[in-house]
Amino acid sequence: MEISLDLLLSAIMAGILLGGFYAAVTVGVSISFGMLDIVNIAHPAFIILGSYAAYILNASFGLDPILAAFLMLPVFYALGAAIYQIYHLVFERRGDEALRGLAFFFGLLFITEVALVLVFGVDYRFVNAAYVGITLHYGPIDLPLRMLVPFAISILLMIGLQLFLSCSFIGRAIQAVSQDRLALQLMAANPTKIKRIAFAISIATAALAGAFLIIIQPVEPSIGRDYIGRVFAICVLGGLGSFPGLVAAALLLGVVESVTSTFYGPSWAPAVAFGFLLLTLALRPAGLMGR
């Protein structure tokens, strides 16, 4: 098979744009799993929920999906806070019940997917936005706006979150809480509020990621499961809780997936992420930028 340079360049570029999107998808888990030690495997379900929310607002009111996502941020934030509250009351306070917490989130993942199937059916849904059909051309490189816009906003999101964590009081409190878990266990209730805020933020990011997803591709309820492997592969590869590492890992995964997809066919994409995950777990559990 001849590898045309043009094709390769396009694939790499598409991969970079895809990687930006993957970063937005993963940042929520980086917060909940990397910083709070909560294995929220239901995160992809919330992203799909975000996609459908954007879909409804777009179909009913003609709202731009990203605008719709910003409108949904408070709703998702509240949802995240509520879920954390339940999780904390039931699981965290009783001590180390990792198994039940996992089962809980698995149940949520499952219920969300099935509920969406019941309400919307298994047809693919997509959104109509001004930029969805437009593609910019720079020589051999194509930049479809439906990928470029989410990529750009993802990067802004990552920068915004990083600034928030480093510069704001609450952000620094979140970092403190994530680093000193033993102290956390010996302290009183205050850290709970901080963790609740952090978890709520992580779910809020799902609203945005969901909007990105449905801009990039049509969505149906079971797609979430494809993302579980990707999300955790990126988290582990990038080092839990490290944003720069996360972006690097996301871009890497995006490029490898895109190149594989272009030359071997798109049905192999989920296997790529899993391969990454297994390799990283086997060789360097601390991740790319870890210790």
Partner 1 sequence: MGRMRNSTFWAAAFAVGAVFFGLSLLVPNDYYFFAGYVVLQYIVLATAWNILGGYTGYVNFGSAAFFALGAYSTVVMYKLLPLPVPLLVVIGGVISGAVGLGMGYLTLRLRGAFFSIATLALAVVVQTLITNWDFVGGSRGAYIIRPAHAPLLGNYIQYLFLVMLVLAVIAVGIARSIERSRLGFGFSSIRDDEQAAEAAGVPTLRLKLVATTLSGALMGMAGAPLPYYVTYLDPASGFNLAYAVNSIAMPLIGGMTSWIGPIIGAVFLGTIQQLATVTISSALNLLIVGALLVLFVVIAPNGIVGLVESRLRARRR
Residues that bind partner 1 (CB under 8 A): 33, 39, 41, 86, 90, 97-100, 102-104, 106-108, 110-111, 113-115, 117-118, 222, 225-226, 228-229, 232-233, 236, 267-268, 270-271, 273-275, 277-278, 281-282, 285
Q: Are 235 and 30 in contact (CB under 8 A)?
A: yes
State which residue, 140 or 266, has the beta carbon closest to partner 1: 266
Min. distance of Cβ 114 from partner 1 in angstroms? 4
DSSP letters along 196-234, please?
A: HHHHHHHHHHHHHHHHHHHHHS-B-GGGHHHHHHHHHHH
Shortest distance in whole angstroms from residue 177 CB to partner 1: 19
Token reading at 222:
């079971």
Burial category of 138 from C-beta neighbours within 10 Å (exposed 0-12, middle 13-18, buried 19 and up)? exposed
Cβ 163 to partner 1, closest distance in Å? Answer: 29
Q: Closer to partner 1 by CB, 45 or 158: give it.
A: 45
Q: How far apart are CA 243 and CA 237, in angstroms?
A: 12
Cβ closest to partner 1, residue 10 vs residue 242: 242
Q: Cβ of residue 194: shortest distance to partner 1, in angstroms? A: 22
Minimum distance from residue 271 beta carbon to partner 1 (Å): 5
**180/226 with CB nearer partner 1:** 226
Compare residues 87 and 151 and give the one whose CB is closer to partner 1. Answer: 87
Tokens 């952000």, located at residue: 171
Q: Is 225 exposed, middle or buried (0-12, 13-18, 19+ CB in 10 A)?
A: middle
Measured from the CB atom, is 152 or 279 closer to partner 1? 279
Q: How far is the CB of 16 from partner 1 (least distance, A)?
A: 23
Q: Which of 241, 247, 197, 233 has its CA nearest to residue 82?
A: 197
CA distance 173 to 19: 29
Six-digit token string for 152: 């750009």
Bridge partner residues of 141 (DSSP): 138
Residue 101 tokens read as 């917490």
| Residue number with CB closer to partner 1 (10 or 26) | 26
Give 98 or 163: the residue with its C-beta nearer to partner 1: 98
State the nearest-atom distance from the C-beta of 219 to partner 1, in Å. 17
Q: Minimum CB separation from partner 1 for residue 50, in Å?
A: 20
Q: For residue 162, with 0-12 CB atoms within 10 Å meaning exposed, 13-18 middle and 19 or more buried, which class applies?
A: middle
Q: What are phi and psi of 141, to 5 degrees?
A: -100, 130
